[in-house]
A and B are shown apart, each in its own frame.
Chain A
Amino acid sequence: MEARIPFLEVSDAIIYSGAETLYWCMQCGLCTGTCPYRLVPGPASEEFNIRLVQHLGQLGLEGFESENCLFACTTCRACVDVCPRGVEIINNVVGMRRMLAEVGTIPPSLKTIAGSLHSQGNPWSGPRDQRTAWIKDVEIPTFSEQTEYFLFVCCTSCFDARSQNIARSVAKALTAAGISFGIIGNEESCCGETIRKVGDEQLFQNLAQANIQLYNGKGVKKIIVTSPHCLYTFKNEYPEFGGEWEVFHYSEILASALSEGKLKLSGSNAGAVTFHDPCYLGRHTKLYDPPRELLRNLPGAELMELARTKNKSVCCQGGGGRVWMETAAGERFAELRIHEAVASGAKTLVTACPYCITMLEDSLKVLGKQDELAVKELSELVAERT
């Protein structure tokens, strides 16, 4: 085997791109062992070794660039949570992706996404002027100085037909709870969370700046989001660029409305439900209780926990750009979750993230378990009972 020659200038560049904790890693392998790819078969499972990726990074060596390696990472944070050295593994992944993004060597499917974000402000190639098409026949207030909350709807729920129901459900539930909220409209752009994880930093910053300018111009102080991904970036990443608001996931708002008695739930029995913690709501934001509060209070609901729950939840595989990439059936994390949900005895698998819904519903169909299990967004269950 020919000896490989470390190239530390590359390592420096990776660190400069954001992998600041690259050298904190002591190569114990806990990340690789914890990674959900160990739970499934397939090329990504075999190629994507996050410990090794970081070691290659430390040495400035190539060999991690493929779609099934560096771009396999879903940024689920399972490894970061347990890392004994406090390595910001996601940042290291993103740093390495940025290096590649700068020279344009990102997977082709992601290039299309970037193109759409550039031109339309959303990743789904949806025309910008159709951003509010999800509203259909519902009445949604427009945000003004008098509105308390600006409701930001995730691009996925703006453009994806299935996902639009989430947006409508959130709006309906908020209305029922008497929350003062409003949308801005077609000028809104994608939050940029996921494209940033993919490595296109410039694009993210463009989107962020556009949004910040828009929201600040409108006098936004508090934001309700429909997706935990938007929640994460608004909360943690926007302040650096001047976007400093109070940001809430809709489940937080609804759960407190419920406890204050402003939101009343009635109607059909929810039955046996179980909750899949979205990575960005759970591990990334540590919100485990509000969704469960809502579920417990649904009429006739019995909440069962999945075998791997809360901080041990297994990713749906939609984060980090994977929602835009193809994973072969039989290799999907979401399949694990479907099996787990069936095993839990629940009839409805509930989650609170549009990516999770996409991934879980796909797998439900692939596995043909529709008769045993339904997949629902939390907002849908709530809205149906307001």
Chain B
Amino acid sequence: MDQKIGVYICSGCGIGESIDLDALSAVADEEFQPAKRVVHPAFCGEEGAGLIRSDVDAGDINTVVVAACSGRVKTDVFVFDPMTTILERVNIREHVAWCQPAGEDDTRMLAEDYLRMGIIRAQKTKLPAPYQEEIDKTILVVGGGAAGLQAANDAAAAGYSVLLVEKEPEMGGHMAKWNKSSPTKPPYQELEEITINELIDQAKADERITIFTSATIEKIAGAPGMFDVTLNNGGGTHRVGAIVLAAGWKPYDATKLERFSYGTLPDVITSVQMEEMAKAGKITCPSDGSEPSVVAFIQCAGSRDADHLPYCSAVCCRASLKQSVYVKEQNPENKVFIFYKDIRTPEQSEEFYKKVQKDGTVFIKTDTAQIAIGQGSERKLSIEAVDQLMGEPVLVEADLVVLAVGMQPAVLDDPILNLQYRQGPALPELKYGFPDSHFICFPYETRRTGIYTAGCVRQPMMSSRAGSDGTGAALKAIQAVELTAKGKAVHPRAGDVSYPELFLQRCTQCKRCTEECPFGMYNEDEKGTPLPHPTRCRRCAICMGSCPERIISFSNYSVDMIGSMIKGINVPDEYEEKPRIVGLICENDSYPGLDMVGLRKLQYAPWVRFIPLRCLGSVNLVWIADALSKGIDGILLFGCRYGDDYQCHFVHGSELANTRMTKIQETLDRLMLESDRIRLEQMAIDDYEKIPKIIEEFTARLQELGPNPYKGF
């Protein structure tokens, strides 16, 4: 595209009063000679917006640079066809006029640098050419339990073909083996019949759903829109577009719970065995087949125990309440004890807890991990526990003890999907083997694009919620195939049509990109050359930051682009005592944070030029070197919090940036510069009040170090 740039400088909202716009216009005119350059008091108004639009419509310009307010606002006004027009928003309102003293030289210089960088960014932007291949929109659902069946049925109901793979000969998962389910309907007191067969029948009847039972996945190759799924036992290879993993859970191995004598005393059973017995029609003591008249339930058998499963399995309280009803239904004279740490019946299920209390079940609060179970004298078993409600030990004799065992994800020691990804065959887990999302706001987020998890493989949950979880995952799978078909990215850069392009002739097979991509976008050939799979890509550009050869770029984001912007900054010589700092910042959190600083009219030193980045992980070390060798005095990096509770939406972008900065020591040594010239701050979106102080401290430190000796070179 032959770029015809229009520069539109707004004087409204205090910009005109703050910044010498003649000087700013002169920078545009003299340094860039744009096809158009207009100053107007309100480009967001009808008249101002009309000016830009008519220039675009007339073909006078195809690249719009608006120097006005933040790119986060007035997005409905400054909107052009992205396939034909390049738009660059230069924020001289929140980031200059609203946070700097009016009329000062330094304020003008700040605005000028922002305009230079904005125009350079626009110049370095190419029109996008989306990555579009022939894609298949079939949804693969792995697991035919409550979550998987719901996902399959709901995807099919929206018109999508579904491949449903179940490892057992019959579908239905755990639920099919259950006797009853705990209440889900008002008044939340009656046990409900298992309705999984309805879902199975629906799936079988739906011609859009192809079902494979007794089937496992040998391997899955490819990428969203073009996964090739190979089933075992000659089940063939099938192309699908997206995947819902609903492989469910398995009970914790009760033999690991020695205190409870599971495996040595036959009448100590697990909740799973109890359920199967109830379904078979009669609850009996395994030792002699007699009907128990006293049954004790031990909650948190393995769960909430640092030595076993540190987490809460979420369903066991309700499962034991349900099973206590079985015991009472078998004989109303039967006695039930429930030993618990906390009764966890959230939401309306509190009503069920009440109902079971009213049935006369005895609840004893105790640290269940300390319970000892042995042979009884009057009944088969004895349970020793400290009753925390009276502060004394109790000894309960029972005929049958049921251990409410915890849940573990089915993928714990089997990747199941067997992905042919360089980073491994499994979906990366979050904690305890659950491939759950790390993000509160985005619970379906996974680190493998187009693959979503649902049900108890994701986190412990009730069957009713597993169903709705399957529905949600199905929606995400549908989104993935629809966006992929259009060459668009999925969350969090949904709709982005750029994608990484590699100039492989210069690749040195260092494998940094293939290792560092949080989403496993790259496979490798035998030599270690990256094999990109663009539909797996989330467009974070972490690979761009990782590449020492700088061979990875996007149509609208590149090493050269940001490097050129940095080079475009006007660096005064050392005698002017005007330090220059480059601020490389996360565009989702720190950039809005800076907007907040402006909105609240907080003031900060005029030395920093902030450059928003897709992710701090996209920082290429060459930018630091370029900046320092140009005479920039310091580099500030604002990225998201990292560590266990990381906030980076690309998983570890800011952490990678931090690692890279520690490695830059070598470069600094070569340049004979102090490492303090680079500072990385973890910054949440609401940390904006800290920004002026950080700038102040950093400037003070730079003053101590003195000007960058490379100024003027």
A/B contact in complex, CB under 8 angstroms: yes
Interface 1/0 per residue, A55-80 and B, CB below 8 Å: 11011010000000000000000000
Stretch in B315-323, B354-362, B500-508 with 4+ CB within 8 Å of A: B354-362
Q: In the complex, identify which listed stretch (B387-395, B527-535, B548-556) lies at the interface while the others stay far away.
A: B387-395
Q: What residues of chain A lie closer than 8 Å to B359, measured between beta carbons?
A: 23
Q: Is the CB of B363 within 8 A of A27?
A: yes
Pair B395/A56 contact, Cβ less than 8 Å: no
Which listed residue (A2, A8, A26, A52) contacts B390, Cβ 8 A? Answer: A52
Say yes or no for B335: interface residue by CB 8 A criterion: yes
CA distance A55 to B358 in the complex (A): 14
Query: A23 near B360 (CB under 8 angstroms)?
Result: yes
A3 with B361: CB separation less than 8 A? no
Q: Is the CB of A23 within 8 A of B384?
A: no
Nearest A residue to B356 by beta-carbon distance?
A23
- How many residue pairs link A and B with beta carbons under 8 A? The number is 57
Residues of chain A within 8 A of B397, CB atoms compared: 5
How many A residues are at the interface, by size bracket?
20 to 34
* List of A residues within 8 angstroms of B272 by Cβ: none
Contacts of B7-48 to chain A: CB distance below 8 A: none
Whether, in the assembled complex, B365 has its beta carbon less than 8 Å from a beta carbon of chain A, the answer is yes
A58-B362 CB under 8 A given contacts A4-B395, A6-B394, A52-B389 = yes
Closest residue of B by beta carbon distance from A87? B357
Q: B354 contacts which chain A residues (CB < 8 A)?
A: 24, 85
List residues of chain A with CB within 8 A of the CB of B394.
3-6, 59
A110 to chain B, nearest CB (A): 26
Confirm or deny: A1 has a beta carbon within 8 angstroms of a beta carbon on chain B: yes
A23 near B362 (CB under 8 angstroms)? yes
Inter-chain contact B392/A27, CB cutoff 8 Å: no
Interface string of A192-236 (1 = CB under 8 A from B): 000000000000000000000000000000000000000000000
Give the nearest-CB partner of A61 in chain B.
Answer: B390
B334-376: which have CB < 8 Å to A?
335, 337, 343, 353-354, 357-365
Q: Is the CB of A23 within 8 A of B361?
A: yes
CB pair A3 B393 closer than 8 Å: yes
Bound Cα distance A23, B363 (Å): 9
Q: How distant is B38 from chain A, measured CB to nearest CB, in Å?
A: 69
Instruction: Tell me which of A1, A5, A15, A24 contacts B357 (CB under 8 A).
Output: A24
CB distance from A13 to the nearest CB of B (A): 13
**Chain A residues near B358 (CB-CB < 8 A):** 23-24
Chain B residue contacts of A85, Cβ below 8 A? 354, 357
Q: Number of residues in B with C-beta < 8 Å to the partner? A: 24
Main secondary structure of the interface of B (DSSP, over half): strand
* A26 near B357: Cβ-Cβ < 8 Å: yes
A6-B362 in contact given A23-B357, A59-B394 (Cβ < 8 Å): yes
Question: Is the beta-carbon distance between B357 and A27 smaller than 8 angstroms?
Answer: no
Instruction: Report A-chain residues with C-beta under 8 Å of the C-beta of B395.
Output: 3-5
* In the complex, residue of chain B having the shortest beta-carbon distance to the beta carbon of A26: B357
A25 to B387, CA, bound (A): 16
Q: How far apart are A10's CB and chain B's nearest CB, in angstroms? A: 12
Q: Is B312 an interface residue (CB 8 A)?
A: no
Cross-chain contact of A56 among B361, B365, B390 (Cβ < 8 A): B390
Q: How far is the CA of A2 from the CA of B354 in the complex (A)?
A: 31
| Distance in angstroms between the alpha carbons of A11 and B396 in the assembled complex | 14
Q: Given the complex of chains A and B, what is the CA–CA distance between A56 and B362 in angstroms?
A: 11
Contact, CB under 8 Å: A59 / B362:
yes
| Neighbouring B residues of A56 by C-beta, 8 Å | 390
Specify the chain A residue showing the minimal Cβ separation from B364: A59
CB distance from A122 to the nearest CB of B (A): 39
Instruction: Give the distance to chain B from A70, nearest Cβ to Cβ, in Å.
Output: 15
A26 to B396 alpha-carbon distance, docked (Å)? 20
Q: Mark A1-35, 1 if CB is under 8 A from B, else 0.
A: 11111101001000100000001111100000000
Contacts of B390 in A (CB 8 A): 52, 55-56, 61
Q: For residue B360, which residue of chain A has the nearest CB? A: A23
Q: How far is the CB of A9 from chain B (nearest CB, A)?
A: 10
Chain B residue with the shortest CB-CB distance to A25 = B357
Instruction: Evaluate whether A1 and B362 lie within 8 angstroms (CB atoms) in the complex, with A24-B354, A24-B357, A26-B357 already known.
Output: no
| A interface residue numbers (CB < 8 A to B) | 1-6, 8, 11, 15, 23-27, 52, 55-56, 58-59, 61, 85
Q: Provide 25 A-B residue pairs closer than 8 Å at the C-beta atoms, listed in order of the A residue.
A: A2-B393, A3-B392, A3-B393, A3-B394, A5-B397, A6-B362, A6-B396, A11-B362, A15-B360, A23-B357, A23-B359, A23-B360, A23-B361, A26-B343, A26-B357, A27-B389, A52-B389, A55-B389, A55-B390, A59-B362, A59-B364, A59-B387, A59-B394, A61-B390, A85-B357
3 cross-chain pairs, A with B, having the tightest CB-CB distances, nearest first: A3-B395, A3-B393, A55-B389
* Given A8-B335, A27-B365, A27-B389, 16 new contacts (CB under 8 A): A1-B392, A3-B393, A4-B393, A4-B394, A5-B397, A6-B362, A11-B362, A23-B357, A23-B360, A23-B361, A24-B354, A26-B353, A26-B363, A27-B363, A55-B390, A59-B387
